[in-house]
Amino acid sequence: MFDHEDALGGLGSNADLLVKLDSVHAALRERFPFLDRIACAIYDPRTDSLRNFLSSGPETPLAHYQAKLSESKSLLEIIEARRPRVVNDLAIFRDGRHDHTRKIGAAGYRASYTMPMYSRGEFFGFVFFNSFEQDVFSDEVLHQIDPFGHLISLTIIHDLSSLRTLLASVKTARDMMHARDSETGSHLDRMSRYARLIARGVAERHGLDDETIEHIFVFSPLHDVGKIGIPDDILLKAGKLNEAEFEQMKSHAGKGRELIDVMLGNFDLAKQPHIDVLRNIAELHHEAYDGSGYPHGRKGADIPIEARIVAVADVFDALTSRRPYKEAWSNDEAFALLRQLSGAKLDPDCVEVLIGNRAEVEEIQRCFGEDPLGA
Ligand code: C2E
Ligand code: SIN
Ligand code: SIN
Ligand code: FE
Ligand code: FE
């Protein structure tokens, strides 16, 4: 009675998305051995950036890949048509100027099936099916692959939407408490993108996959959630904090961790894969590379990489923004201080990536400029 093994049973597990994608891929490959690669890319409409998110197969020619969607004509056509696209001979793209197309071709793929993913009518990414063989995606095959494409899409939506709910509830809590410190709105938009930029730059060295990079991006806006517990007269003080006030201010790191643990319990997300990234960001973003930080005085590699990344993103944005207690610095001034802090307070690899990608930093600043409140 129980002889049949459900090849997709793992989809209901607590495994991360890549494991789930691998299991769908394995199930599909039993029927279609030529299906060599399945990959998913996620779209950020606010910056028009399309990023590799998950990839299952022998090679990941697009690891840490990111591009402007508006620059990929062939992908834009798919969204305009709101239909999947079959290319049974990728040679037609050989002269394509788009980097993505070239990389897929250079990795030896000869055919592709690309499905756009929609959630509540909004485009949010692509699923790519690729084969090393030409002419494999017949109508018959596509009819059988389609439900799997939707399965992948729904699995991603399900995973990301619980995180979105969590983020929205934190935002609501802040709004309701009028905890309107300077860390609202555009500060969080910018610093989370600096964090993503740094994460991508140190990914090879620290073994971060694209799913982890995306989690660092999504979670970094919560780094200061513990400031909800800091009284306004300290948080919004127009001048320098005295020692006692700063001691109290420092408790925001531990408070943030506690608050996040409570929320994860309430939302039943405590065992969500990658959720330690969130805990570590809230608790450890003021630890210093040389051990002089708080709350624990951890040092170097004992500080999780996500916390070291967020520290650099946070300090850089704090410096280049106006705060109740300081004016905004120029990028040159801020980079100069980061250089000074590199290896002391801040992780040198993370500082180097940020400073080395000035054009992208400035683009983020253009996209997410100061709002009228100076946030
Ligand atoms: P924040 O405003 O988000 O600043 C984050 C971090 O950026 C600071 O962590 C610090 O490492 C760096 N940073 C910001 N502005 C400056 C600056 O002018 N010079 C230098 N060298 N570094 C800067 P830190 O110091 O642990 O402070 C944590 C939080 O405490 C700050 O978050 C802010 O909310 C509050 N805070 C710190 N100093 C003052 C202050 O003098 N007055 C007031 N009202 N709040 C302060
Ligand atoms: C990003 O989305 O990571 C960068 C933002 C931008 O390119 O404008
Ligand atoms: C494209 O860039 O549209 C072609 C590459 C692919 O289908 O993965
Ligand atoms: Fe903080
Ligand atoms: Fe901050």
Q: In which residue ranges of the chain is CATH 1.10.3210.10 found?
A: 178-367
10-residue mean pLDDT series, the chain (375 residues):
84 88 94 96 90 85 81 89 90 70 84 94 94 95 95 91 80 63 74 96 94 93 89 89 96 95 88 91 98 98 98 96 89 98 98 97 90 45
What architecture (CATH level 2) is domain 178-367? Orthogonal Bundle (1.10)
Question: Rounded CA gap, 196 and 210, in Å?
Answer: 10
Q: Which of 65, 75, 127, 145 to mutate to test the pocket of ligand 3 (most atoms within 8 A of CB)?
A: 75
Instruction: Please give the pLDDT value at position 184.
Output: 61
Ligand nearest to the CA of 237: 1
- For 9-158, CATH number? 3.30.450.40
Ligand nearest to the CA of 191: 5
**210 in contact with ligand 1, CB cutoff 6 A:** no
**Which tokens is 305 given?**
């990489």
Residue nearest to atom 1 of ligand 3 (CA): 101
Q: Which residue has the tokens 């904090």?
A: 241
Instruction: Please give the pLDDT value at position 46.
Output: 86
pLDDT tens digits, one per residue of 153-205:
999 998 888 888 887 877 777 666 555 555 567 888 899 999 999 999 999 99
Return the closest-CA partner of residue 36 out of 14, 17, 61, 16: 61
Write down the pTM of the prediction: 0.85
Instruction: Please give the pLDDT value at position 1.
Output: 85
Q: In which residue ranges of the chain is CATH 3.30.450.40 found?
A: 9-158
**Contact (CB, 8 A) for 313 and 222:** no
Instruction: Please give the pLDDT value at position 59.
Output: 67
Letter string b/e over residues 318-332, b meaning 16 or more CB atoms within 10 A of that residue's CB: bbbbebeeeeebeee
Ligand nearest to the CA of 256: 4
Instruction: Please give the pLDDT value at position 95.
Output: 65
**199 in contact with ligand 1, CB cutoff 6 A:** no
